[in-house]
Amino acid sequence: MNILQSHHFNTQYPTWDIAVRQAIAQFIDHVETHGFKGLKGRNKSSAIESTTKKGMARFKTAQKHCLWHYHIGLPEYVEQANGEFTSEMVLHYMRLNDCVVLVDVATHPPFNLPSNEKLNY
């Protein structure tokens, strides 16, 4: 699978500390080698259905841009009751047919989608 980076991601990457860059490198290596199967952290679509007006707008934006987020394990992984591992920091990306576009790293909660400006690649 091809891994691309948004313009925003490229400009921010050098500013992130080494732990963040290493977690991103592990994600890239895993996806390039194995695809999405077997990732340790929770990996899910950001198109989360909601009944609120704000939630529906977020759902439509995430769906339109194929936005996903992956819990990268920082500051640490926490095992949930369902056996999945979450973390405060997530990697936002677009999951397209033939590639993945890395977009941003953010904390969760709160869960906010990257702005449209960050999606350009």
Tokens 């695809």 correspond to 35
Q: What confidence tens digit (pLDDT) does each residue in 70-105 have?
A: 999 999 999 999 999 999 999 999 999 989 999 999
What is the pLDDT at residue 98?
86
| The CATH homologous superfamily of the domain defined by 2-112 | RelE-like (3.30.2310.20)
Distance, CA of 3 to CA of 52 (rounded, Å): 34
User: Tokens standing for 76?
Assistant: 């640490």
Helices in the chain by DSSP H: which ranges? 7-12, 18-34, 53-64
**Low-confidence residues of the chain: pLDDT under 70:** none
